[in-house]
Structure 1
Amino acid sequence: MKMSLAFLLAALVVLVVHPAAASVGFTMVHVPDGAEPALETGVWYPTDAPSRPTTLGLFTQDLAPEAPVRGRGLALVVISHGNGGNFASHAATAFALAQAGFVVAAPTHTGDNHRDQSRATDIAGRTRGLAVVIDHMASRWAPGVIDPARIAAFGHSAGAFTVLTLAGGEPDLSRIGPHCAANPGLYDCRLIAATRSGPVDRPGPAAPPFLRDGRLRGIVVAAPALGFTFSPSGLAAVTAPVQLWQAADDAILPSPLYAEPVRDALPRPPEFHVVEHAGHFDFLAPCSAALARAAPAICTSASGFDRAEFSRRFDAEVMGFLTRMLSP
């Protein structure tokens, strides 16, 4: 994706409205979730404390662990990772947002993460878990730090579906059967076939309930999973502005079955970006050497595509959009 005027304007907005923090703080919290396991949640935030190289799983960032938060009444962005990910899947974006003055909370979804795939098709459970994290961050994490009127969400792949449903989307799960009959080799259909008892397989009246959160003032959606399940009536209640991203060379959730149906069904046109030569995993944080050795499939980009450079531009566009949506 070439450097654009929109990118330059977005970067300027971020610099003017949110000067870069001297440092980024980090803490790991375990958010209570009723009878379910507590949600492991990484939290990035602005701080004035000095930073040091800090290990987050297979990533290293310059952070100030457990440092005091700089500011009060800050905007909150929650991040929902894709299938098999964890709280650090979008660590680069979380760090950039915290530098820009946001508090960022990214849970590891129960039963759908790199350690545990036992509930990989529990798509309603993902939405409920993200809502629980928002409640905790807005009311109990650090009273007075979060402005409950300034909340947004970002999601990638299964996380994008999670964010869309949390924002009011109502998927038609009866479309999954015909879709997978016609496309059995696609990633989502292979995942569903491998876990036939998963809640995603219950269509119509038996479909799982999805929690809604009317507090979201903007959502960023990248490479949305199950995009074909959304119709105009299914997305009619999504009133928050949407920034929608598509990887032009996405082999996991290929065109025109995923991003385009979401784009066409939203009640008002989204801010739509198509990233030329990008693959599905190019929206993830640039891989460390350790991650590239452990999971080469998610770290390999097309020849000539610079994921690190794209990540910087992507983060600037996301920051610009969220700054506009969450301005006081």
Structure 2
Amino acid sequence: MRWTTVVAILLGLMAVPVPGLAAQVGFEVVRIPNGAQPPLTAGIWYPTDAPATSHSVGELTQVVAPDAPLAGDRLPLVVLSHGGGGWYGGHYDTALALAHAGFVAAAVSHAGDTVDDQSGVLQLWRRPEQLHRLIDYMLDTWHGHERLDGTRIGAFGFSNGGFTVLVAAGGVPDLSTIAPFCEVHAGQDLCEALRHAGVDLRFAADVPARAWVHDPRIRAAVVAAPSFGFAFGRAGLCGVSVPVQLWSAADDRHQPHPYYDEPVRDDLPRAPDYHLVADAGHYDFLPPCDARLSRMRPALCNSLPGFDRAAFHDRFNADVVRFFRTMLP
């Protein structure tokens, strides 16, 4: 959908290594079986002792060691879920920061809700199942699976990915709330985008609770600007018992307050580690854009005057790493 189209040209921010931990990051792209559907594509970042150099993945440039040997044992795993219209590399800077800190970070491109496949934009129940398949693959099939610690698994998600992670951690949304919400708030960017995309908001009204796949292996979650936060409610979030770090952009005009982040903050059974980022917009949770992408996608790339997205991401990634290191000891 146009409001979350993440073009794969994200350049610029390289994660800062954590002293005393992995100096370099290995990287690979894998294909994951997805039942009767085509395989899922995922990117995996991991600590390595091999030398890293600048490499391209699609139109993304990052400093990694492709297909390098994995370094370490009993490594914690963090899975990442991108926003609507994104791809597995949409939060590459956070994945790099996690890998530098000794985590394995794995991000899946959510089939039906990617930059080049919008066939299932409101079939939100597909996303948690795909995240579940990613965890299965990492623990059972990935070449380094025996060196992962299955008791130390976290999940990170932004926008639609934040919604995905809340479901995977035990949340049960009620999608029948979307149509009446958009009737009342028709001018909101989210509702305008759904209408522009020709999405029938009523078709998902009868999604049964059993359609939402939970993954009890997830022990901690970082959620940034979650979409459809109003669709959960206290009852829908009562099953989320893991610690949550919740991020909110104070100037989020795509998902304006108080319908998205605040209901999640207020209705979680366990108070989250809540961060309200002054002057940040919705897309400031994406890595900084290079000059070319800024020209092509100003709505995606432009921040408020004086807001330094690169400096924010240094702090943001450090806080995300710190949270997971604390909650996944």
TM-score, normalised on structure 1? 0.91
Kept after mapping to 1: 8 A contact 2:24/2:65: yes
Q: 1:196 aligns with which of 189, 199, 210?
A: 199
Instruction: Specify the alignment match of 2:161 in structure 1.
Output: 159
Q: 2:245 aligns with which of 243, 246, 249?
A: 243
Quick check: 1:230 aligned with 2:242? no
1:48 Cα deviation (Å)? Answer: 0.2
Instruction: Specify the alignment match of 1:63 in structure 2.
Output: 64
1:278 maps to amino acid: A
Unaligned 5+ segments in structure 1 are: 1-13
Residues in 2 aligned to 1:56 and 1:312: alpha-carbon distance in whole angstroms: 22
Residues in 1 aligned to 2:242 and 2:159: alpha-carbon distance in whole angstroms: 19
Paired residues for 1:14-163 under 5 Å:
19-141=20-142, 142-163=144-165
Instruction: Specify the alignment match of 1:9 in structure 2.
Output: none
Kept after mapping to 2: 8 A contact 1:173/1:207: no
Residues in 2 aligned to 1:326 and 1:119: alpha-carbon distance in whole angstroms: 33
TM-score, normalised on structure 2? 0.91
- Could you say what secondary structure the match of 2:25 adopts? strand
Instruction: Specify the alignment match of 1:323 in structure 2.
Output: 325
Residues in 1 aligned to 2:219 and 2:172: alpha-carbon distance in whole angstroms: 18
Instruction: Specify the alignment match of 1:180 in structure 2.
Output: 182
- Stretch of structure 1 that moved more, 146-155 or 289-298: 289-298
Change (3 A) 1:206 1:269: closer
- Could you say what secondary structure the match of 1:29 adopts? strand
1:206 Cα deviation (Å)? Answer: 5.0
1:232 Cα deviation (Å)? Answer: 1.1
2:96 maps to amino acid: F
Change (3 A) 1:207 1:220: same
1:208 Cα deviation (Å)? Answer: 7.3
**Alignment: residue pair count:** 311
Kept after mapping to 2: 8 A contact 1:192/1:201: no
1:72 Cα deviation (Å)? Answer: 1.8
1:296 Cα deviation (Å)? Answer: 2.5
Instruction: Specify the alignment match of 1:281 in structure 2.
Output: 283
2:326 maps to amino acid: R
1:231 Cα deviation (Å)? Answer: 1.1
Query: Percent identical across equivalent pairs?
Result: 49
Instruction: Specify the alignment match of 2:316 in structure 1.
Output: 314
Q: 2:264 aligns with which of 262, 265, 280?
A: 262
Q: 1:296 aligns with which of 295, 298, 306?
A: 298
- Could you say what secondary structure the match of 1:30 adopts? strand
- Could you say what secondary structure the match of 2:173 adopts? coil
- Could you say what secondary structure the match of 1:317 adopts? helix
- Stretch of structure 1 that moved more, 168-177 or 300-309: 168-177
2:286 maps to amino acid: L
1:201 Cα deviation (Å)? Answer: 3.6
- Could you say what secondary structure the match of 2:28 adopts? strand
